[in-house]
Structure 1
Amino acid sequence: MLDESAFRRHSDDALESLKQSLIAAEDDADGAFEFEDNNGVMNIIFGDGSSKFVVTPNTPIRQIWISALATSYKLDWSEDASVFALPKTGEDLKTLIQRLLREHLNDSTITLT
């Protein structure tokens, strides 16, 4: 398991990268969703008011948690890949968020780079 400072460093980097990707995708999504960052808790709020996704680091257990589509996703740090990944599928943070956005909005053109 990562020590706390390593977790914070890796999670801060991963979440900042996700934030920049979401800001860029938000501009291309024509109001389908908006992104907010509130003291380290990321919210993706949908224009139709249907729901929101929440992304947050969980420092005590060294995971990034995502609440989306009535499901909780818990991503662990992968030393081999140097990313936070969902153990069940191997998806990294951006790939998982991109898939969830595409599913929720029924829009296969959403891309997180």
Structure 2
Amino acid sequence: MMDEQEFRRAAEAALERLKKHLIAREEEDEAGFEVEEQQGAMHVLFEEPAGKFVITPNTPVRQIWISALSTSFKLDWDAAGAVFVLPRSGEKLIPLVDRLIEERKEG
């Protein structure tokens, strides 16, 4: 398991890349959401219908957690790929969040 400092650096970098990606999407005409950071967590706030996703690092277990669509997603660090991935599907952080946003739009 990576140490706390390594995890914090990796998580901060991953969340910064995700934030930049989401802000670029947010600027699209029909994105329907905005991104905010609050106390170390990232919130993706939806307008219609109102709702949010919460994305936060969980340092004690060295995971990034996503609360979205009434489900908790726990991503582990993949040292070989230098990314956070969802173990059960192998999805990386940014594609997973994109998929969840699209599922929310369709649902």
Taking structure 1 as the reference length, the TM-score comes to 0.89
Indicate the residue corresponding to 2:47 in structure 1: 47
Q: Which runs of 5+ in 1 are unaligned?
A: 107-113
Shift of 1:94: 0.2
Indicate the residue corresponding to 1:92 in structure 2: 92
Count, aligned residues: 107
Shift of 1:29: 4.5
Matches within 5 A, 1:1-113: 1-30=1-30, 32-106=32-106
For 1:103 and 1:31, locate their aligned partners in 2 and report how far apart those are by CA, in whole Å.
13
Question: Is contact 1:31–1:47 with CA below 8 Å preserved after alignment?
Answer: no
Q: CA RMSD in A?
A: 1.4
Structure with the bigger RCO (C-alpha within 8 Å, sep 6+) is 1
**3-state DSSP class of the match of 1:28?**
coil
Q: Which runs of 5+ in 2 are unaligned?
A: none
For 1:46 and 1:81, locate their aligned partners in 2 and report how far apart those are by CA, in whole Å.
31
Q: Which consecutive segments of 4 or more residues in structure 1 shift more than 6 A?
A: none
Percent identity (aligned): 51
For 2:48 and 2:83, locate their aligned partners in 1 and report how far apart those are by CA, in whole Å.
32
